[in-house]
């Protein structure tokens, strides 16, 4: 199955798209078609472990890949050694109608691990298929979690160098330390003065800068991305929605074919887009509920059809959602305009030139038929953390709390799954403040709640900081080039 460039409609192989990351036009790659998974096959997933569910789903999305090799790479990515749960993505019941999909058990304690543990393997397999043995410079912009997940997966990997840019002061202290203490001679971490949108825009600019591309080529590299603009980053996320449904089937929470709803905290629209893709592949999804923090640009878009970045940027306790330019929304818009590149380009041009765009009333109604949206401010987020702990004995992070708050304000009658995206210990200061009214570190949070501190951050504050450089936005190209020299 080939993929399409959202801005030109041109087709390339899935393996080529995974290696490129972003299309030469500046567009993103989307499936040429969505493979349909019949109900009986979804039902069969209930008896399979997570890795085999991933093999089943991804083999249908990547049918041109050598299936034995693809299956081997998937099984190697989702192991008990890499994920601190035998279920890999356990489903935690809150009530008989509400569960939490725990995506925090990977090596960096965030949902990004589900894609980034597999992405280097997909890249190597893609390079083999394409006959492309070039070295690859992986460029990453992160609002907190993607950076460490990418560093963890690409560090010391032959054939790769990885440069991560994050907003200075725009991530939690634990997220910063996870990146700043990363070992590996082939990785670099740089703080950028500005917000995440500045870092993300800067990385996108590097992918289309002819001078930078030539400079990188002269040093023996070609560019690739580990952000969710990369098709290979997005598609592994589809699996855990099928997996959650399979677990509901297994425990008797739903009957085969019964629809469920998902509440997804999102800033860059990738996690929630994976849910929409799962629905398009046949997963029985009734509603996809988008949960925003105070930077509620996606909430406004879903409810009004208007996307306007001309607003004040809020720095919140859920920094991975502090985003005003959501890259993956382009993929969703491509479907909204019925896969018409001309219409899509008009929207993207308006966003670039006027900092805003709007879709028709008809398109807005179509979006609202599938999506609902809500948002939570800082007080509501803190309240949700406290309630989840007191009512259910479950410690949740600030991003998951945004989703829980949105659900509380509009509870659904059908079986519902809240998607939990990061460990609360990555945001110990905010979580402890919500619970006890006082800021504390990870160790104190563990002692006060009795919750076990995850191994990846034990002793993190005592590790040597290896990356502490802060640069201006216009220095990103020079910094990435200097790293390769």
Domain ranges of the chain: 91-107+235-422, 134-227+456-485
Name the average pLDDT for the chain.
96
State pLDDT tens for residues 327-336: 999 999 999 9
**pLDDT for the residue 1:** 81
> How far is CA 313 from its chain centroid?
21
State pLDDT tens for residues 209-232: 999 999 999 999 999 999 889 999
Task: Name the token pair of 67.
Answer: 């299936």
Res. 377: pLDDT tops 90: yes
CA-based nearest residue to 383, from 394, 393, 372, 398: 398
Identify the band that residue 485 occupies on the pLDDT scale cut at 50, 70 and 90.
confident
**pLDDT for the residue 208:** 87
Mean pLDDT on 41-63: 98
Range 134-227+456-485 classified under CATH 3.40.50.1100: yes
**pLDDT for the residue 144:** 84
Q: In CATH, what class is 91-107+235-422?
A: alpha beta
**pLDDT for the residue 360:** 94
Identify the band that residue 76 occupies on the pLDDT scale cut at 50, 70 and 90.
very high
Q: Which residues, listed in sequence order, are joined to residue 164 by a DSSP beta bridge? A: 140, 189
Q: Are 401 and 388 in contact (CB under 8 A)?
A: yes
Q: Is the fold of 91-107+235-422 the same as that of 134-227+456-485?
A: yes
**pLDDT for the residue 39:** 98
Cα angle value 62/68/71 (rounded, 5°):
65
Q: Provide the whole-model pTM.
A: 0.95
Res. 461: pLDDT tops 90: no
Q: 204-213, 273-282, 342-351, 412-421: which has the minimum mean pLDDT?
A: 204-213
Identify the band that residue 263 occupies on the pLDDT scale cut at 50, 70 and 90.
very high
State pLDDT tens for residues 1-47: 899 999 999 999 999 999 998 999 999 999 999 999 999 999 999 99
Token look-up 């790293």 returns: 483
Pairing of strands 29-31, 91-93: unpaired
Question: Measured between alpha carbons, how far is residue 293 from residues 12, 171, 266, 375 in Å?
Answer: 36, 15, 9, 5
Region for 167 from its dihedrals, namely left if φ exceeds 0, alpha if ψ lies in -120 to 50, beta otherwise = beta
Task: Name the token pair of 4.
Answer: 């399409």
CA-based nearest residue to 383, from 316, 430, 441: 430
Res. 172: pLDDT tops 90: yes
Count CA atoms closer than 13 A to 292's CA, side-chain side.
Answer: 23
Identify the band that residue 174 occupies on the pLDDT scale cut at 50, 70 and 90.
very high
**pLDDT for the residue 153:** 95
Residue % of the chain over a pLDDT of 70: 100
Res. 293: pLDDT tops 90: yes
């Amino acid at each position: 199955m080939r993929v399409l460039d959202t801005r030109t409609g041109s087709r390339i192989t899935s393996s080529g798209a995974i290696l490129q990351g972003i299309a030469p036009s500046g567009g993103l790659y989307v499936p040429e078609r969505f493979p349909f998974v019949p109900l009986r096959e979804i039902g069969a997933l209930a008896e399979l472990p997570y890795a085999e569910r991933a093999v089943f789903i991804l083999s249908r999305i990547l049918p041109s890949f050598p299936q034995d090799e693809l299956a081997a790479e998937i099984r190697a990515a989702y192991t008990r050694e890499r994920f601190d749960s035998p279920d890999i993505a356990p489903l935690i019941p809150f009530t008989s109608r509400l569960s939490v999909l725990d995506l925090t058990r990977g090596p960096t304690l965030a949902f990004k691990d589900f894609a980034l543990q597999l992405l280097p393997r997909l890249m190597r397999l893609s390079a083999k298929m394409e006959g492309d043995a070039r070295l690859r410079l992986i460029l990453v912009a992160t609002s907190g979690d993607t950076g460490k997940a990418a560093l963890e997966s690409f560090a010391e990997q032959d054939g790769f160098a990885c440069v991560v840019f994050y907003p200075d002061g725009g991530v939690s202290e634990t997220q910063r330390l996870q990146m700043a203490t990363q070992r590996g001679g082939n990785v670099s971490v740089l703080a950028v003065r500005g917000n995440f949108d500045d870092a993300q825009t800067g990385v996108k600019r590097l992918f289309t800068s002819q001078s930078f591309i030539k400079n990188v080529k002269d040093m023996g590299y070609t560019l690739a991305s580990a952000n969710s603009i990369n098709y290979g980053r997005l598609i592994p996320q589809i699996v855990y929605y099928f997996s959650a449904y399979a677990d509901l089937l297994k425990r008797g929470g739903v009957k085969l074919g019964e629809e469920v709803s998902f509440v997804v905290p999102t800033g860059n629209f990738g996690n929630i887009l994976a849910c929409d893709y799962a629905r398009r592949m046949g997963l029985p999804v009734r509603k996809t509920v988008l949960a925003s923090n105070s930077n509620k640009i996606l909430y406004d878009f879903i409810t009004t059809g208007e996307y306007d970045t001309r607003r004040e940027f809020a720095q919140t306790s859920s920094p991975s959602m502090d985003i005003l330019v959501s890259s993956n929304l382009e993929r969703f818009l491509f479907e909204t305009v019925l896969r018409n590149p001309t219409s899509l380009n008009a929207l993207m041009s308006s966003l670039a030139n006027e900092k805003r765009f709007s879709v028709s009333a008809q398109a807005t109604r179509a979006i609202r038929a599938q999506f609902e949206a809500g948002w939570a401010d800082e007080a509501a987020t803190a309240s949700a953390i406290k309630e989840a702990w007191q009512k259910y004995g479950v410690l949740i992070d600030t991003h998951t709390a945004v989703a829980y708050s949105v659900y509380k304000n509009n509870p659904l009658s059908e079986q519902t799954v809240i998607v939990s995206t990061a460990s609360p210990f990555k945001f110990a200061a905010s979580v402890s403040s919500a619970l006890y009214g006082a800021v504390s570190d990870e160790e104190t949070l563990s002692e006060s709640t009795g919750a076990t501190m995850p191994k990846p951050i034990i002793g993190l504050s005592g590790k040597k900081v290896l990356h502490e450089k802060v640069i201006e936005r216009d220095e990103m190209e020079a910094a990435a080039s200097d790293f390769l020299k």
